[in-house]
Amino acid sequence: MRLIFLGTPEFALPALEAVHAHHEIALVVTAPPKPRGRGQKPAPTPVQQAAQRLSLPVETPARLDPEAVERIAQLQPDALCVVAYGKILPESVFARFTCLNVHPSLLPRHRGAAPVPWTIWSGDALGGVTIMRIVQELDAGPIIVQEGFRLSGEETAGDLLEMTSRRGADLLVTALGGLAAGDMPQTPQAGEATYARMLRKEDEQIDFDRTAEELSRQVRALSPRPGVRVTLEERGLELRILRAQSAPGGLPRGELRAMGGKLAIGCGEGVLLVSELQPAGGRPQQAEEFLRGRPWASGLHVR
């Protein structure tokens, strides 16, 4: 089939490569380059870089205005594949073309901007991927194919993003195969919808009055970026917690102790065992390495 691919971040790369291996991609559409790095030089998106590597035509409109939509129409695509494009499609697009979207949750659960972090933060036992057809209501379109899988309870958002990006690529190819064969069932979403709002700056703050289990989910949901932030009160050192688990134990809330090569922090119930962290201005490191360089940290307090 002849397709248009719309996507922007690394999450979309497995889908781009899988679709390219099975179908003709007439055009790749991605976000414009943004200033990055110390020099703030405009850098192309991961999807633009991959499209150029695959010798695919690529365009970077600031928005899908009537001119951009007409450009798509001139290419006469059989369908549009939308994978983390990052922009809301105008109705003129999904009303005119078949638009298939890769969504990394088991819809109708976790519609919205941040389904992967909220899958983890909510303590869901299952993760999953849905291929749906785009309609006007946000993430409410009929389901083409959907697959769930059990979570171990140790995945970070980064881990789950990688899992869903690769499985989503396979499912997208399956959906396109059905479309090409004229056999693409569309099942209305059933059950109560939940919404995964975009993460906010205040989500990075941690409240040690809460249970260690709740806080371990928060840490994993925000890892590797932006990370949960705490400050060593006595030293004023800011830390990003990247990996942590809950464990039974009793420490004063916010008190930090070395424990078996990890950093234990007292919570409202249990302790948060930090295994990986990143000091401000430093690199990510294991808790054991952090403690070797800062043995004085045990016994301090974080907030």
Instruction: Give the other-Cβ count within 10 Å of 283's Cβ.
Output: 7
According to the model, what pLDDT value does residue 36 have? 79
Per-chain mean pLDDT for the chain:
95
According to the model, what pLDDT value does residue 293 have? 87
pTM of the model: 0.92
Q: Give per-residue pLDDT as tens, 21-44.
A: 999 999 999 999 988 777 788 899
According to the model, what pLDDT value does residue 5 have? 98
- Residues of the chain above pLDDT 90, percent: 88
Q: Are residues 183 and 216 in the same domain?
A: no
According to the model, what pLDDT value does residue 70 have? 94
pLDDT at 297 over 90: no
Q: Are residues 62 and 166 in the same domain?
A: yes
Q: Are residues 259 and 218 in the same domain?
A: yes
Q: Are residues 49 and 62 in the same domain?
A: yes
Q: Give per-residue pLDDT as tens, 79-136.
A: 999 999 999 899 999 999 999 999 999 999 999 999 999 999 999 999 999 999 999 9
Q: What is the CATH number of the domain that holds 10?
A: 3.40.50.170
Q: Are residues 145 and 87 in the same domain?
A: yes
Distance between CA atoms of residues 186 and 183, nearest Å = 10
Distance between CA atoms of residues 129 and 14, nearest Å = 14
Please, are residues 247 and 271 in contact by the beta-carbon 8 Å criterion?
yes
According to the model, what pLDDT value does residue 275 have? 95
The mean per-residue pLDDT over the stretch 135-151 comes to: 97
The mean per-residue pLDDT over the stretch 180-190 comes to: 95
In a domain, 302, yes or no: no
pLDDT at 53 over 90: yes
Q: What is the CATH number of the domain that holds 216?
A: 3.10.25.10
Number of separate domains in the chain: 2
Instruction: Name the residue range of residue 128's domain.
Output: 2-196
According to the model, what pLDDT value does residue 250 have? 82
Q: Is residue 117 reached through a cis peptide bond, with omega within 30 degrees of 0 on the bond before it?
A: no
Q: Are residues 168 and 211 in the same domain?
A: no
Instruction: Give the other-Cβ count within 10 Å of 195's Cβ.
Output: 15
Q: Are residues 19 and 151 in the same domain?
A: yes
Listed residues 176, 196, 216: the one ending a domain: 196
